[in-house]
Amino acid sequence: MIIIKVGKNENIERALKRYKLKVYKTKQLDNLRERQQHVKKSEKKRKQKQKAKYIQKIKGSENWTIFCFLYLI
């Protein structure tokens, strides 16, 4: 559970912004979306392997530096 303490002179919008940032950093929303449907272990492993293959494919190509540059922007 995320707790945000609001000061006496603090604006409620600022506290709400801090709350949203904490939710994003702790990945709570991602966990909730992930748990909406049951996914078998074999499916999780399959997706993880597919993602690893994709990343290796990208890193092996010459476009990797361009991809990294665009990702950082």
Looking at the predicted structure, is the pLDDT value of residue 73 above 70? no
Q: Where do runs of H (alpha helix) occur along 1-73?
A: 12-26, 28-34, 41-60, 64-72
Please tell me the predicted confidence (pLDDT) of residue 69: 62
* Residue spans per domain, the chain: 1-37, 39-73
Instruction: Give the pLDDT band of residue 68 (cuts 50, 70, 90).
Output: low
pTM above 0.75, yes or no: no
pLDDT tens digits, one per residue of 6-65: 989 999 999 999 999 999 999 998 889 988 999 999 999 999 999 999 888 888 776 666
Is residue 49 within 8 Å of 34, Cβ to Cβ? no
